[in-house]
A and B are shown apart, each in its own frame.
Chain A
Amino acid sequence: MTIKNKAYITETALLCCSGENEEQLFQNICNQNSSISTDSSYFNNTPAAIGKISSDKNFFDNLILKCEEILDKSNLETFQDTLLIVGSSVGGIAITEDIYLKNGDYKNIDPAYHNIHAIQTILETKFKFLDGVSFSTACTSSANALGYAHEVLTKGLYNNVLVLGVDQLSQTTVGGFLALGVLSSQPCKPFEINRDGMNVSEAIACLLIQTVPNKDSIEICSVGYSSDAYHMTHPHPEGLGAQSAMQNALLQAKLTTKNIDYINAHGTGTGANDSAEANAIERLFGNIPYVSSTKSITGHTLGAAGAVEAIISKLVINNQTIPTSTNLSHPENKNINLSTQNITKEVNYVLSNSFAFGGNNCSLVFGKIQ
């Protein structure tokens, strides 16, 4: 298929535990200022270190406010000519939990506000979109949403796409990851030899993707997909699926490994993910590009992670600054180039990884406009 247009991230808006906006988040990442904290309220009084948004507003009211913010910043008057692509792993499950746990039955649950589509349903009370679709591939949901935005824009099918990565903390996710035994009771330590798990977190990340750039835009150069076809929750230990996704992204962008200046790793802090991902990066890139995970600051925002980390990738390129790794003093894999301080250097291309349950892998390459 002929590439008809390029895809540019023109505007962003964000809310997560470590920032009310993009600049605040990047400052906190560079200053190693984590807002991950211990909370026992989410599952049977069991303490877990989680990343909760600090706000006096309802989560979905904040979502509408962030969409209004991105519309105000943009060159659009409405979203009527914009395709909405949502990435979420849980959709409206927290709404369902509230009703079910209060009433003990399903009677007052509105299916329209239960499923993944709930996010679009809520937004359509305020905005009109050209069309909409939601991706739900667990922790790659919004990375895949960005990949699809790249696909429909470069194929010349749309001119404006609003990608939202949205996941709210819920008892289901906190209790579920506790059941899998992968939650840490302290801020996570991605790629550290004695890491002990991940931090579940929540976020709203909005990206307007258009075919015409503005002065601060970066390009979504490519997307690479793969499936592990190995296990529902464990990545292939050698990171074969991760490697394949990164290779596919490089191939589509017509870049080599030497072109990548920084890899924003999936880096959850779990034993299985980080060793598999480090193996894949080592095999493909050696120790050339800088690597870090920003989840020790943001936590793992699950379905929103790809969108959050796309915004971080844009900030890395706009600021020409590679962020340091937080909570990393003894890396397990010494053959990859994990950043140990903030580094100001020329950054032309960033690769961002997202991996998920079911062995679903997505790598995105972002580039400075040349």
Chain B
Amino acid sequence: MKINLEILNAACIYDEKEISELRTKELVPKMVTRRRLTRAAKIAIYLANEVDFKIGRVVYGSGFGEIPATASILKSIKDKEHISPTDFQNSVYNTAASYLSMLYENKNEIMTISSGDNTAKNVLKMGAIKALDGDEILLIATETLNIPNIEEVNSCLQYLECGVALKVKVTQLSPNITITNNDFTIKIPNSLRELYFIAKEFDETQTNIIEIKI
């Protein structure tokens, strides 16, 4: 089965170490909320604002989840120290999507999936299947891998903080964006590949349609 999605808006952001222009202070005015946010949550909030999405269903994906919180927990265990409650609550994969829902009081269905290198592909598939119900859906994915000593397990990724967001709805129009495997010039995580490609191809002066094979 094939489902065509109209890309209503798209945004992506990445940095080799840490993305600096997330406008978190402006987007999250309450300090009590802001100071608990993870890097992934800050990226998700920035991207949702960029694609102008506040209320509705969300499919969020991450291949590796909340690596900084997980690394901090592992260090605490190794050092026989107590785990920080904030690190623990911020270590679940749905952390970023949950903070996003709290910020905008979005009480809709919010899913978090993880499929390794196929995460972006599965976010697109799930988004397409859900979009068959007729609503506009936010597809969003992040990776935040900027932790001390990450080079011990990373020898290929150039960009350690990345995020992509697409606002989509189902359409009967023919596709005019095709995902190919040869158009990647920067080393972003494979888990974001297909979403990143679509965001890069998005042209706000025209209708943008992608075909998703289920």
Contact = CB atoms under 8 A, between A and B. Distances in A.
Interface of A: 1, 43-44, 89, 91, 93, 96-97, 100-101, 104-107, 109, 111-112, 114-117, 120-121, 132-138, 144, 148, 151-152, 155, 157, 171-172, 175-181, 225-233, 241, 244, 356-360
A172 B63 contact: no
Q: Chain A at the B interface: mostly helix, strand, loop or mixed?
A: mixed
Interface of B: 1, 36, 63-65, 70, 73-74, 76-78, 80, 82-85, 87-95, 97-99, 101-102, 104-116, 118-119, 122, 125-126, 129-130, 132-134, 149-150, 152-153, 214
Contact of A136 (B89, B92, B126): B92
Contact of A144 (B70, B84, B111, B153): B111
Given A117-B63, A244-B107, A359 B101 contact: yes
A357 B108 contact: no
Contact of A133 (B87, B94, B126, B134): B126
A298 to B, nearest CB: 21
Contact of B78 (A93, A100, A120): A100
Contacts of B105: 229
A151 B111 CA distance: 13
A244 to B, nearest CB: 7
Contacts of A151: 129-130
A116 B99 CA distance: 20
A225 B109 contact: yes
A121 B114 CA distance: 12
Nearest to A111: B153
A115 B89 contact: no
A171 B99 CA distance: 25
A47 to B, nearest CB: 15
A134 B113 contact: yes
Contacts of A144: 111
B132 A134 contact: no
Contacts of A231: 102
Contacts of B129: 151-152, 155, 157
Nearest to B130: A151
B36 to A, nearest CB: 7
Nearest to B36: A232
B115 A357 contact: no
Given A1-B132, A155-B132, A227-B107, A44 B80 contact: yes
A107 B77 contact: no
Contacts of A109: 152-153
A276 to B, nearest CB: 15
B168 to A, nearest CB: 16
Of B98, B110, B150, most A-chain CB atoms within 10 Å: B98
A96 B1 CA distance: 38
A116 B153 contact: no
Nearest to A44: B80
A98 B89 CA distance: 22
Contacts of A1: 132-134
A135 B113 contact: yes
B36 A137 contact: no
A176 B83 contact: yes
Contacts of B125: 133
Of B64, B78, B114, most A-chain CB atoms within 10 Å: B114
Given A133-B126, A178-B83, 13 more contacts: A44-B80, A97-B77, A100-B74, A106-B153, A115-B114, A115-B116, A117-B115, A137-B94, A148-B126, A180-B88, A225-B109, A226-B109, A356-B92
A227 B109 contact: yes
A107 B153 contact: yes
10 contacts: A97-B77, A138-B93, A148-B111, A152-B129, A157-B1, A172-B70, A175-B76, A176-B83, A227-B98, A357-B95
B80 to A, nearest CB: 6
A96 B70 CA distance: 10
B106 A229 contact: yes
A109 B74 CA distance: 13
Contacts of B74: 96-97, 100-101, 172
For the complex of A and B, the 7 pairs showing the least CB-CB separation, nearest first, are A358-B98, A176-B88, A136-B93, A117-B116, A225-B109, A116-B114, A106-B152
A155 B134 CA distance: 13
Contacts of B119: 117
Contact of A356 (B77, B84, B94, B122): B94
Of B92, B101, B122, most A-chain CB atoms within 10 Å: B92
A132 B115 contact: yes
A136 B112 contact: yes
A172 B90 contact: no
Contact of A179 (B85, B116, B126): B85
A343 B35 CA distance: 50
A111 B64 contact: yes
A85 to B, nearest CB: 10
Given A357-B92, A357-B94, A227 B110 contact: yes
Contacts of B84: 179
Contacts of A137: 92-94, 111-112
Of B1, B73, B132, most A-chain CB atoms within 10 Å: B73
A135 B60 CA distance: 10
